[in-house]
Amino acid sequence: MGWMGIAAEIGLLAFGLAIAGDWVAHRRGSPARELFRGSSGHRPGALVAAGAAAFPALLLILASGVTLAQRIAPSIPWSLSHETILALGVATGLASYATYTRTAQVFRAGHSEEDGLDPLTRVAGHRTFQDRLSHECDRAFRFGDSFALLLLDLDQFHGINNRHRHSTGDHVLREVAGRLSSAVRDIDLCARFGGDQFAVILPHTLHKGGIDAAERLRRMVASVTFSAPEGSMARVTATVGVAYYPTDGDTPARLVSEAKLAVAFAKSLGGNQIQLVQGLPEPTAKMGNVFHLSASSRAAVVRSLAAAVDVRDRYTHSHSRFVSDLAAATARRVGLPEVEVERVQVGALLHDVGKIGVPDTVLSKQSALSTEDWASIHAHPTLGKTILEQAPELREVVPLVLHHQERFDGSGYPGRLKGEAIPLGARIIAATDAYHAIRSDRPYRSGRSHSEAVLELQRYAGTQFDPSVVKAFISLVETDPSARRIIASLDEDEGAQPYTGRSSARVLANDGSA
């Protein structure tokens, strides 16, 4: 038993000496120190962890050394119990395990940085992106080529972290990165630009190719549902800025700067859309998130907003323009002055701009909408108001956009306005919007004929629609040649519009609405 005790104490002494020696080797520059270093130098976290192991190791050396000496020379008056020495040995072992776990993490992170990958998402890191962007600029300059830069920013991503913890946010970033990298070509580069942003470089890409790629990636992000703690689900959307070499910038810094401006402008309009640098308006001034536009830029912004809505759903196509043209003609028929007709035309073109904030999965859903889905739909007029208020020059059409889902009997949304309290322009938009919705094909039903749509409007005149507007609309489409040409276009080009009002049971029977 005595020799076994001596052997155990010798083993513990050797263990403590090994841990302490390892620490000293790292501090003095041993080759093993490379575990604690990377291309950027010292890894303080690993060194601190190793120090935490060295401290109990020193105590173990002292205790086992003194006790071993006392066994050899009993005249030494002081020694420790076996239990104390064993406890010190266990503490040293645990600290050593923690040390090398931390060292492995640091080493893996350093390795990721050295091989150009982002440690979290395992796609290219920021440095790799900058190097590749510089290379593509040089290559395109030498050969007279063009390429596209996409800057993708996840919308309201901080809400994911706030509601579901950062671990869920990290999972979303990894998932998005994996899907983005798998959706681009082998010659393209997908990189984490920083935080909740990703960048994609598309070599040999002209104008249409960049737009198609940006919209494909935006749709892909919006279509994914992520699992969150406690069985809940999380969704995220993305805003994409598109810049082209050399049109939008002939240096890496200029391209990135222009792409950032495109993202910022698109986010000020609600996000979840793509924005070309070439399509940016020329602001006369900017205060905070509010853009003051020059007169020449207003029409471009209106067209850009309408296109951003129509591209969201393959069933919408030219819905906004159709409703705009028909609403303007109806406004003339009821006798509005031309300045008001123009206001109705712009308001109708932008009436669904708030759908930018409605998830793609809801817009294209083929089954009955859930309560949560309807809440998202019902929020779109209010979001449209918020978006249009970012450009003061468009504020005159805000009441039309905000109230185009009100019902004449007061049961609509969002304000439950009744009768003539609803702006006349909004009442006109409601009728023309409903007509096109009834005529359009949807996943769950075929579009109705012109006569059937007219009967629906007449049936709900006085409850959902203003009777005087319905009368003027029917008179228009039956007698005006230009209006009849607009109507005839529906028979030539199958478009559609997801109806967002609470219309008749016949039209919405498959929507699951009351």
Q: What is the pLDDT of residues 308-323, one digit of tens each?
A: 666 655 555 578 888 9
Into which CATH architecture does domain 2-114 fall?
A: Up-down Bundle (1.20)
CA-nearest of 268, 209, 216 to 244 is 209
Cα 150 to Cα 199: distance, rounded to the nearest angstrom: 6
Residue 105 tokens, joined: 């993490």
Q: For 320-357, give the DSSP string.
A: HHHHHHHHHHHHHHTT--HHHHHHHHHHHHTTTGGGGG
Residue 412 tokens, joined: 């609509």
Cα 113 to Cα 108: distance, rounded to the nearest angstrom: 9
Q: What is the pLDDT of residues 471-497, one digit of tens each?
A: 999 999 999 988 888 888 776 544 434
- Rounded to 10 degrees, what is the CA torsion of 402, 408, 412, 413? 20
Residue 447 tokens, joined: 């579009």
Asked if residue 195 has pLDDT above 60, the reply is: yes
Residue 86 tokens, joined: 């064993």
Residues 352/365, Cβ–Cβ less than 8 Å:
no
pTM of the model: 0.53
Highest averaged pLDDT of the listed ranges 76-85, 332-341, 490-499, 502-511: 332-341
Residue 386 tokens, joined: 């918020």
Asked if residue 248 has pLDDT above 90, the reply is: yes
Into which CATH architecture does domain 118-280 fall?
A: 2-Layer Sandwich (3.30)
365-370: long-range contacts, CB 8 A cutoff, minimum separation 24: 366/443, 366/444, 367/444, 367/512, 368/510, 368/511, 368/512, 369/511, 369/512, 369/513, 370/512
- In the chain, domain spans: 2-114, 118-280, 283-514
Residue 111 tokens, joined: 């390795």
**Secondary structure E strands in 143-196:** 147-154, 189-194
Q: What is the CATH number of domain 283-514?
A: 1.10.3210.10
Other CB atoms within 10 Å distance of the CB of residue 420: 11
CA-nearest of 380, 354, 333, 303 to 486 is 333
Average pLDDT rounded to a whole number, residues 16-21? 63
- Rounded to 10 degrees, what is the CA torsion of 330, 505, 385, 328? -10
pLDDT of residue 444: 63
Cα 122 to Cα 116: distance, rounded to the nearest angstrom: 9
Per the model's pLDDT, the better-predicted residue between 332 and 49 turns out to be 332
Highest averaged pLDDT of the listed ranges 186-195, 272-281, 294-303, 363-372: 186-195
